[in-house]
Amino acid sequence: MESKTEGPTKIEFVRSTGGCLFENENNLKNNIMLGAIIGDVVGSRFEFNNTNTLNFELFTPESTFTDDTICTIAVADAILKDIPFGESLHYWCRKYPYPKGGYGGSFAGWVHSDNPKPYNSYGNGSAMRVSACGWLEEGPNVISQYAKKSAECTHNHPEGVKGAVAVADCIAFLRIGLSKKELKNHITLLHGYNLNQTCKDIRAGNSFNETCQVTVPQSIVAFLESTDFESSIRLAVSLGGDSDTIAAITGSIAEAFYPIPHYMKERALSKLPTDLLNVYSNFLYYKATGIKL
């Protein structure tokens, strides 16, 4: 009998009252961008109402996607469409002008400008949106270049670029099998971040901060201390400060190291509108086939 090998098919999302179901579960082996989306959704209700505990409901009716998910999807869509990152960010952020928590002041100005220019930012927006770059097949050097470009359209301050490149590097290095200890050494050497702080230290001294140079190393520390994907998100949120973005960055890194519990995928993706889901689905299809739809 003739055997037939079927290639990956595009994921169709089917809405149900319990969340969204996936027709082709096999295509979800790659957890691309889910870490950022889950971190954003879980952290969304804590950005302006911090918690310092690990014991909280991950998903409530209040939990929603925010700017971190929109910008993450925009970066992926730029790769899929071969268009400049700035053009894609501008399109998606104008399509969703008032997410929960809004956009940072300078970024909001950039979104609403008809002639947007980089504004020398070192805010953590460059780091929270970069994860799709970390999953490209071309290897760590090309990944760093993509990450740099994804930052520079807005965050062209050296710390803004470094934040994005460091997160993409973490993903790239974990994908090729580095241990947490090796990752810590590599990132410290390459980017000079202090990764010797602990989550306990960070919680004790934390105040609201949205810069790459403060929050990217904190997000990496939350990953280093975690024991599985869920604990990485809980640790990130428990640091306080810019909770949704810290959790989005930690999740971006953690998904390259751990499997993601199915219920977390379902609950987070069920919060997304169809157009954002379509880009997510198309990016997974691109990863699986090399074809840009």
Cβ-count burial of 26 within 10 angstroms (0-12 exposed, 13-18 middle, 19+ buried)?
exposed
| Closest separation in Å from C-beta 247 to Mg ion | 10
Number of residues forming the site for Mg ion (CB under 5 A): 5
Report d(CA 133, CA 229) in Å as an integer.
Answer: 20
Residue 13 CB, shortest distance to Mg ion, in Å, is 23
The answer to whether residues 30 and 286 touch, using CB atoms and an 8 Å cutoff, is: no
Task: For residues 25 and 137, give the distance between their C-alpha atoms in angstroms, rounded to a whole number.
Answer: 22
CB nearer Mg ion, residue 67 or residue 169:
67
The helix (H) or strand (E) run that includes residue 14 is: strand 13-16
Shortest CB 245 distance to Mg ion, Å: 5
Residue 1: CB minimum distance to Mg ion, A: 53
Q: What is the footprint of Mg ion within residues 109-148 (CB under 5 A)?
A: none
Hey, which residues between 215 and 254 contact Mg ion (CB under 5 A)?
244
Q: Is 91 exposed, middle or buried (0-12, 13-18, 19+ CB in 10 A)?
A: middle
Name the segment binding Mg ion (CB under 5 A); options: 21-29, 58-66, 184-192, 200-208.
58-66
Contact 122, 212 (CB under 8 A): yes
Residue among 102 and 158 whose Cβ is closer to Mg ion: 102
Q: Find the part of the chain contacting Mg ion (CB under 5 A) among 21-29, 62-70, 156-164, 183-191.
A: 62-70
Q: Least distance to Mg ion from the beta carbon of 47, Å?
A: 6
Task: Mark the segment that binds Mg ion (CB under 5 A) among 61-69, 88-96, 132-140, 190-198.
Answer: 61-69
Question: Contacting Mg ion (CB under 5 A), which of 68, 77, 230, 255?
Answer: 68
With contacts defined by CB under 5 A, name the span among 60-68, 181-189, 217-225, 281-289 that binds Mg ion. 60-68
**Smallest gap from residue 244 Cβ to Mg ion (A):** 4
Interface with Mg ion, residue 66, by CB under 5 A: yes
Choice between 31 and 66, CB closer to Mg ion: 66
In the complex with Mg ion, the residue whose CB is nearer, 101 or 116, is 101
For Mg ion, the closer of residues 30 and 64 by Cβ is: 64
Backbone angles phi, psi at 240, to 5 degrees: 80, -160
Question: CA–CA separation, 66 vs 100, rounded Å?
Answer: 6
Q: What is the DSSP string of 113-137?
A: -SS-------BTHHHHT-HHHHT-T
Residue in 186, 208, 200 with CA at minimum distance from that of residue 124? 208
Shortest distance (Å) from residue 94 CB to Mg ion: 17
Bridge-partner residues for 13, per DSSP? Answer: 22
Strands (E), 118-266: none
Binding site for Mg ion (CB under 5 A): 66-68, 101, 244
